[in-house]
Amino acid sequence: MNKIKTVVIGVGSLGQHHARIMATHPNSELVGIVDPDAKRRDKIAAPYHIPTFGTAHEIIGLTQAAIIAVPTPLHYPIAKELLQAGIHCLVEKPFTSTVSEAEELIVIARDNNLVLQVGHVERFNPAVTAAVPFISNPLFIEVNRLGPYDPRTSHIGVVLDLMIHDLDILLALVNDTVVGLEAHGAKVLSEHEDIVKVRIKFAKGCVADVSASRVSLEKYRKIRIFQNDCYISVDYAGKSLKVYRKKTPVVKGLNDIEIIKPKLRDVEPLYGEAEHFLHCISEGKKPMVSGEHGRDAIELAFEILRSLNL
């Protein structure tokens, strides 16, 4: 596989890690870093001895692929310009500010035969990928994601900041149509919702209770999946997975339940995400987290926000 020329646009708290991975991945040649803050971009680029740029427009013609890790309102204009210029894009979550923006980017990528991936990194969490083979027709799902408040994300609420990860995971695991939801939340530390609880109902009967809060001193990220024959517990943060499965049709005691602890891959989720992006470009394949998946996640997020009516 020939190295793919890449750039990272936006090198803040997350973008700096994208730059580190693209600079060291064997299938990537990081050819530039883009950020409006000259001091910041030069600091991040220094160890890799690569040029820096103030705008995304400047890298057109220099790269084959870009990771866009800028504030959400800038996702659409930057991705649109780059896709129209024939550059593959990995766009951080939330994908765009509106569903119509997402639709437009999907069409541009499709018309130009380009890879458009959305940065829902939890899909590449080793605990999640190991859980997928055990999941079939879930009946009930419980998700909890709590974390401390970060002023850098005060421009959006907890639904688009944190819950969006779990909405994407839910839609992927259940693979069914949402037919109803009920949401409750409150503003505590910002002008947007800081804590939200939502119940989501799917057409085939699955129900999901999803909680997200950024009014917590500790990080807590878990998902529990209940099925006819087993219970699956995933710890996103601890990267651990346990499967409790019935050995017999009728459970009379603990001896009738087997506990499975699959061996997980020791890989950084962000690295796995980047590797998948590069692989899809090289092989001409559609990414596991496509523009359509990013669109569906924000569409559900906006439905929740409308239901909150704060």
> What are the tokens at 252?
């009379």
Same fold, 4-119+269-290 and 123-267+299-308: no
Give pLDDT, residue 198: 98
The CATH code for residues 123-267+299-308 is: 3.30.360.10
* Domain 4-119+269-290 falls under CATH 3.40.50.720: yes
Edge-first strand listing for the sheet containing 195-202: 178-186, 195-202, 207-213, 140-146, 220-226, 230-235, 240-246, 257-260
- Whose CA is closest to 144, among 235, 78, 41? 235
What span, in angstroms and rounded, lies between the C-alpha atoms of 113 and 286?
Answer: 10
- Per-residue pLDDT 10s for the chain (310 aa) are 689 999 999 999 999 999 999 999 999 999 999 999 999 999 999 999 999 999 999 999 999 999 999 999 999 999 999 999 999 999 999 999 999 999 999 999 999 999 999 999 999 999 999 999 999 999 999 999 999 998 888 788 999 999 999 999 999 999 999 999 999 999 999 999 999 999 999 999 999 999 999 999 888 999 999 999 899 999 988 889 999 998 888 887 778 889 999 999 989 999 999 999 999 999 999 999 999 999 999 999 999 999 997 7
pTM (2 d.p.): 0.93
**Where do the domains of the chain lie?**
4-119+269-290, 123-267+299-308
Give pLDDT, residue 1: 66
What span, in angstroms and rounded, lies between the C-alpha atoms of 254 and 232?
Answer: 16
Give per-residue pLDDT as tens, 40-86. 999 999 999 999 999 999 999 999 999 999 999 999 999 999 999 99
